[in-house]
Homo-oligomer: A and B are copies of this chain.
Amino acid sequence: MSWEKGKHIGNLVEQSTRLIKLRFGNAFSDHGIDITPEQWIVLDCIHELESSSQKDIVEKTYKDAPTISRILAKLIQKKWLIIRPDVDDKRKSIVRLSDKGKAIYNTCNPIAITVRERLWNGLSKDEYATFIHVIDKIFQNLEKES
């Protein structure tokens, strides 16, 4: 695969993203863990937030509510999460990692770190910084609807 330089920036980023997700998924399954990249993102998010409503996860992951609802359903089905209604706001459901979920997190996190290292291999701090800046700027440029 060679890039179409100067054009098709969307495709370019899209293809790499697909590859990144694929490699995260490969790495997990190579270690015998049945978790998708998206499920990992959500699991990691819940680990960071400790205890969170679906809304919190929606905001943090930038995924939409239906997507989060369905990913959570799968994580709950796997018994990696504990869900309970919020006592103050009955619309909300609060979610946190179960012991099994924590164990999975602890197994997956080093694997994710390894993939990230591989991903950044041969790139400098400056390149990293510029990359983050550009991606962030692109995001801001597109964030508003019109």
Q: Give me the interface of A with B, judged by CB distance under 8 Å.
A: 1, 3, 5, 8-24, 26, 37, 41, 44, 59, 61-62, 115-116, 118-123, 127-128, 130-139, 141-143, 145
Contact = CB atoms under 8 A, between A and B. Distances in A.
Determine how many copies of this chain the complex contains: 2
Nearest to A122: B137
A129 to B, nearest CB: 9
A11 to B, nearest CB: 6
Given A1-B62, A15-B62, A134 B139 contact: no
Given A123-B137, A142-B119, A17 B17 contact: yes
29 contacts: A1-B143, A3-B136, A5-B132, A9-B20, A9-B119, A10-B21, A10-B37, A10-B115, A11-B41, A11-B61, A13-B16, A13-B20, A13-B135, A14-B20, A14-B21, A14-B41, A15-B61, A15-B62, A16-B138, A16-B139, A17-B17, A19-B138, A19-B142, A20-B138, A20-B142, A22-B142, A23-B142, A123-B134, A130-B130
Contacts of A26: 145
Contact of A20 (B10, B23, B131): B10
B19 A143 contact: yes
Contacts of A18: 62
A87 to B, nearest CB: 29
Contacts of A122: 137, 141
